[in-house]
């Protein structure tokens, strides 16, 4: 059986999203149909739309979905119809990284999240003329319904507004998880975050949760820096005016250098300032997306003093454990990620993208019509 859904479809590279009716297959025995309530827009959706990152087109993007389980295949045990779920990237559960508790580094990540089809190559979405790519991050949630499987559904409490929660499955867990799961700062540590979009702000909120003494937000927009202060930054640097960031940090904020730094920009000059601002043995975590073929060039001296640079995917979280923790921190008033959110309707998705690219909206969330 096929059902008609409404989806924002990317028909051509670098084009606008097209809201249209699509046919979606019923779930197979191991699949789950989720009625999407709302989906966040993440930088990765835009990177694919602009073809900085490859994914088959035409297709349905969207990978910060939250919704209600509508139908489950016969073999599904993890969730039942009516459960509230946040969708996270798919993982295989049986590879070396999954077995070691690092599903974001699943060795089958590409097949499960970025090939546009089911792992067996079959397609579930059709527009009457042609197949439409789906299963983007195992969800393709810019749509009223999403087909996924057990590895991607994270059950969440029904008391919390489901429409807010989708971004916890990607952008927010990326920033917060880098701090809480990977960097694990000690209370009193000093940390800097470059680029205070949603991912950087999530890192700042998490750094406040664990009691970092100095949390330095670095960006080129004063309004964003002011907002970062609202969410937990103790100091801000506008790197448009203060170009020698490392020197400024050492002279004014951390004479011995920073314990930790998180970069969300993937801009060479920005990352080099961070590397030079680190204390001996400090670590820079990189979360940004660089264009394919991009190269990083850094001063070598810090690396002879024990400085480390490490890239982190999806906050290295186990979403089933980590997303409920973030929700509890939010409920307790310690992780106010809702302050970054602005809602749009599905037919306003292109406006939401434009507002996000211009920096007018930090974290757009698309509400689905039902």
Which is closer to Zn ion, CB of 98 or CB of 179? 98
What is the closest distance, in whole angstroms, from the C-beta atom of residue 94 to Zn ion in the complex? 6
Compute φ and ψ for 317, nearest 5 degrees: -95, 160
| Options 98-106, 146-154, 309-317, 358-366: segment touching Zn ion (CB under 5 A) | 98-106
Rule CB under 5 A: choose which of 19, 42, 143, 147 binds Zn ion.
42
By the 8 A CB rule, do 166 and 39 touch? yes
Rule CB under 5 A: choose which of 98, 277, 312, 323 binds Zn ion.
98
At residue 45, the 3 state secondary structure works out as: helix
Does 44 participate in binding Zn ion (rule CB under 5 A)?
A: yes
| Options 166-174, 186-194, 246-254, 355-363: segment touching Zn ion (CB under 5 A) | 166-174
Rule CB under 5 A: choose which of 11, 47, 92, 210 binds Zn ion.
92
* Interacting positions 106-135 with Zn ion (CB under 5 A): 106
3-class SS letters over 251-262: HHCCCCCEEEEE
| Options 9-17, 119-127, 169-177, 256-264: segment touching Zn ion (CB under 5 A) | 169-177
By the 8 A CB rule, do 93 and 84 touch? no
Which is closer to Zn ion, CB of 342 or CB of 370? 342
Which is closer to Zn ion, CB of 98 or CB of 327? 98
Does 53 participate in binding Zn ion (rule CB under 5 A)?
A: no
What is the closest distance, in whole angstroms, from the C-beta atom of residue 280 to Zn ion in the complex? 33
Q: Is the peptide bond before 58 cis (omega within 30 degrees of 0)?
A: yes
Residues 6+ away with beta carbon under 8 Å from 328: none
Instruction: Give the integer Cα–Cα distance in Å for 32 and 25.
Output: 11
Instruction: Return the sign of the alpha-carbon dihedral for residues 266, 268, 271, 275.
Output: positive
Does 178 participate in binding Zn ion (rule CB under 5 A)?
A: no
| Options 12-20, 39-47, 194-202, 248-256: segment touching Zn ion (CB under 5 A) | 39-47
How many residues bind to Zn ion according to rule CB under 5 A? Answer: 8
Does 262 participate in binding Zn ion (rule CB under 5 A)?
A: no
Chain-centre distance of CA 133, in angstroms?
21
Does 95 participate in binding Zn ion (rule CB under 5 A)?
A: yes
At residue 125, the 3 state secondary structure works out as: strand
Does 170 participate in binding Zn ion (rule CB under 5 A)?
A: yes
Outline where the chain has alpha helix (H): 43-49, 96-99, 109-113, 171-177, 198-209, 222-231, 245-252, 268-277, 319-331, 349-358
List residues near Zn ion by CB under 5 A: 42, 44, 91-92, 95, 98, 106, 170
């Amino acid at each position: 059986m096929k059902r008609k859904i409404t989806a924002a479809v990317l028909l051509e590279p670098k084009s606008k999203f097209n809201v249209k009716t699509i046919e979606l297959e019923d779930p197979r025995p191991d699949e789950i149909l989720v009625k999407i309530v709302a989906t966040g827009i993440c930088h990765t959706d835009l990177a694919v739309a602009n073809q900085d990152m490859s994914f088959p087109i035409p297709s349905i993007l969207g990978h910060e979905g939250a919704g209600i389980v509508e139908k489950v295949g016969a073999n599904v045990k993890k969730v039942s119809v009516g459960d509230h779920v946040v969708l996270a990237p798919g993982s295989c559960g049986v590879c070396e990284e999954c077995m070691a508790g690092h599903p974001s580094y699943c060795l089958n990540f590409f097949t499960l999240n970025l090939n546009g089809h089911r792992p067996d190559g079959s397609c579930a979405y059709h527009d009457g003329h042609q197949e439409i790519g789906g299963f983007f991050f195992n969800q393709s949630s810019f749509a009223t319904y999403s087909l996924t499987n057990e590895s991607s559904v994270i059950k969440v409490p029904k008391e919390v507004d489901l429409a807010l929660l989708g971004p916890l499955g990607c952008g927010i867990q990326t920033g917060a998880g880098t701090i809480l799961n990977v960097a694990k700062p000690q209370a009193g540590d000093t940390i800097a975050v470059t680029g205070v979009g949603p991912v950087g702000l999530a890192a700042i909120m998490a750094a406040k949760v664990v009691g970092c003494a100095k949390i330095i937000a670095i960006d080129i927009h004063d309004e964003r820096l002011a907002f970062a202060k609202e969410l937990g930054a103790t100091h801000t640097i506008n790197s448009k005016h203060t170009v020698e960031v490392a020197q400024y940090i050492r002279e004014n904020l951390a004479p011995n250098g920073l314990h930790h730094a998180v970069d969300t920009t993937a801009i060479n000059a920005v990352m080099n300032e961070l590397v030079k601002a680190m204390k001996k043995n400090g670590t820079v975590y990189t979360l940004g997306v660089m264009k394919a073929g991009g190269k990083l060039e850094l001063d070598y001296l810090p690396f002879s003093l024990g400085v480390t640079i490490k890239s982190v995917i999806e906050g290295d979280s186990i979403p089933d454990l980590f997303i409920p923790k973030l929700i509890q921190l939010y409920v307790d008033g310690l992780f106010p990620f809702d302050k970054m959110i602005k809602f749009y309707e599905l037919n306003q998705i292109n406006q939401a993208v434009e507002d996000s690219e211009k920096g007018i909206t930090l974290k757009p969330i698309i509400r689905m019509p039902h």
